[in-house]
Structure 1
């Protein structure tokens, strides 16, 4: 009888649950690791260890002790560099090298790499927490407005748009509050032509075999208007722009020597006529992106990523095709309070709802929407076409009602 494979997953948030389910489908022993024993994923894994995922040497020591066969930081941005480090030290499969992960996971380093290699990239500069005065004196370096954000956070946490240089210090302080390493970046704001995209992609032996794009919509009334509130597949982005982004993503994969695995890719087409790779992270995206893509296309990137990690044959992957319009409504509240449930108007649920994941229990406290971690839940919808989707999305709050007191 073959030895049972061991997969270490860094983190314990709910986004890990599909990866745990995929691993158990293949009889893989799942070990979850972080410093928060109450996190939900630990209830579904086979083994839990209380170690900070930011401490790469402590995680390596544990991984060697447990003799793991693979490691992922699935949909957990802070653990990606550690996962790459452990995989490299133990000769385990990973999407990229530790060096490449350090570039991809640091917005400042990533912008520099893109600029050095001839990619379209926003005018940007990175700073440490000890260089705030330098940042304040660099106001003429940028074309205003600008975006200020931590170099190492995801889910739009700590991100602010600043239109007036007089307000830059407040934005820097917000970014530093969400930064793990005390670094932040300031970059020119890119005016959108259409929508920003965030989707999961997959490469096999260095070849991009699954490239996908979405339309991200934002709630302008939210506490953080730069946190995505709705995601739509397939994207309305021009095919020529999608092809340009895919070509540039393939070039990035080759330049960084990346191999097989999953990427969360954020991109945008700007009014200046240029297409930008904003972020490329060797992990699954948050907000259950790969789950919705699986429902819409029948292609399971989650299972593929798990199989890759422990050297099991990867299921067949082709370019995505959608038979309708799929929407991820990221449920959130414009006020803090006690959660009293979700209700639907008329027969909306029966007609359009595919899947719902509501996180808090009735009576639990919820926060206003400052980042993806403040989401109340995620509801997948399916419409026949984009016109139908747009009709209902214009008044979505009339059809999906979140109750808070």
Structure 2
């Protein structure tokens, strides 16, 4: 049996484990956490960092690898590319698209080259240079690692008082020690989950992205379709196509975060040439009937792409999260939640007795709730009812965090 390597063992990689096995492959998982969800899902599990492709290849030896994939993780994309080279798999991400995924400053250069709406930024690994740049940019501004995803290491600053602390916080989540400062753009947040086939934008889902707000600005929910007029949607489609053409991304998934200003300008924030995180493929499947996880695996295998949308429904994905650190003692209302007609899927990643953390980064989530409906108003009412139904009981951990 041929092998599929999945880098990462978190909740957003688990669908690739299951889909790979459904397609008939032996799944090898890689994650440095011994308690990662992927450890129980994989046919073979390597407890090691996904950022060491040579070490992974040494540990596996001369095996038959059909494909390598890492949904939702920018940090692992360079390893995906190198392992794909080592094992001579059929598909590799275009170098320009890969660089955009792991270097936010480079993505900003691409936006500038294309003449798309752009904000001011500065990227460096020196506190002195970043302090000087912050004074020139002014406040408010966003401080974040240049090579990380999942809202890790982000701080929004209204003034210079905590700048050094914010830089040091970003460094903790940066492999390159590159920190980027960005002008804060006010407006409505959105996201794009798309798929290219033979250089053509074969699928594009645009969501309204609800975030927690400063200081971390973490995704809390997505609603599709986004509340965009036809002109904005067309401009967005043209810009996504132009960006991907510029960086050579002709095949496969790609996602973007963006802001729509009150004046109607579309500002792209980040790009990832991989399947989106925070349950985006799950929402896409319920809203459009499209299995992007299967499509991404088949692309990695070198098989012909088939991107078929079977239906279009209004859908919401809500990230379930804790407000504070503690121990989960009970999950109440789950059965009643599942009886709400609009509930399409609910996934809870924690069990009573588990330590949970406040939702200060995307990795701290408790689960996903996906709802579908025929209208936005019906969906919003049902979501409100669902969130009142499901309750997580959390008590302070007197023994301290695990």
For 2:310 and 2:203, locate their aligned partners in 1 and report how far apart those are by CA, in whole Å: 7
Aligned match of 2:352:
362
Report matched runs for 1:347-358 at 5 Å. 349-351=338-340, 352-358=342-348
- Is 2:105 the partner of 1:114? no
Deviation at 1:204, TM superposition (A): 0.7
- What per-residue deviation string (whole Å, max 9, x for no partner) do you get for residues 2-25 of structure 1? xx4322111111222211222122
- What per-residue deviation string (whole Å, max 9, x for no partner) do you get for residues 257-314 of structure 1? 1222112222221234321222221211122110111111111111111111112343
Q: Structure 1 residues 47 and 347 mapped into 2: Cα distance closer, same or farther (>3 Å)?
A: closer
Match of 1:135 among 130, 134, 144: 130
Deviation at 1:88, TM superposition (A): 4.0
For 2:88 and 2:248, locate their aligned partners in 1 and report how far apart those are by CA, in whole Å: 16
Deviation at 1:162, TM superposition (A): 0.9
- Is 2:195 the partner of 1:202? yes
Report matched runs for 1:1-400 at 5 Å. 4-61=1-58, 65-88=62-85, 90-94=87-91, 96-128=93-125, 131-192=126-187, 195-220=188-213, 225-314=216-305, 316-318=306-308, 322-323=312-313, 325-344=314-333, 349-351=338-340, 352-393=342-383, 397-400=387-390
Whether the aligned pair in 1 keeps the contact of 2:326 and 2:357 (CA below 8 Å) is: yes
TM-score norm. by structure 2 comes to 0.90
5+ long unaligned stretches in structure 1: none
For 2:302 and 2:185, locate their aligned partners in 1 and report how far apart those are by CA, in whole Å: 41
For 2:308 and 2:172, locate their aligned partners in 1 and report how far apart those are by CA, in whole Å: 41
| Two-structure CA RMSD over aligned residues (Å) | 2.4
Whether the aligned pair in 1 keeps the contact of 2:97 and 2:244 (CA below 8 Å) is: no
Whether the aligned pair in 1 keeps the contact of 2:256 and 2:270 (CA below 8 Å) is: yes
For 1:36 and 1:350, locate their aligned partners in 2 and report how far apart those are by CA, in whole Å: 35
- What per-residue deviation string (whole Å, max 9, x for no partner) do you get for residues 117-150 of structure 1? 323222111011xx11111122342142111111
Q: Structure 1 residues 242 and 95 mapped into 2: Cα distance closer, same or farther (>3 Å)?
A: farther
Count residues with an aligned counterpart: 394
For 2:310 and 2:92, locate their aligned partners in 1 and report how far apart those are by CA, in whole Å: 20
- Comparing 99-108 and 340-349, the one that deviates more: 340-349
- Comparing 77-86 and 223-232, the one that deviates more: 223-232
Whether the aligned pair in 2 keeps the contact of 1:211 and 1:319 (CA below 8 Å) is: no
- Comparing 338-347 and 153-162, the one that deviates more: 338-347
Deviation at 1:30, TM superposition (A): 1.5
For 1:274 and 1:391, locate their aligned partners in 2 and report how far apart those are by CA, in whole Å: 30
Deviation at 1:218, TM superposition (A): 2.3
Whether the aligned pair in 1 keeps the contact of 2:110 and 2:243 (CA below 8 Å) is: no
Deviation at 1:225, TM superposition (A): 4.8
Deviation at 1:156, TM superposition (A): 1.0
- Comparing 198-207 and 392-401, the one that deviates more: 392-401
Q: Structure 1 residues 389 and 135 mapped into 2: Cα distance closer, same or farther (>3 Å)?
A: same
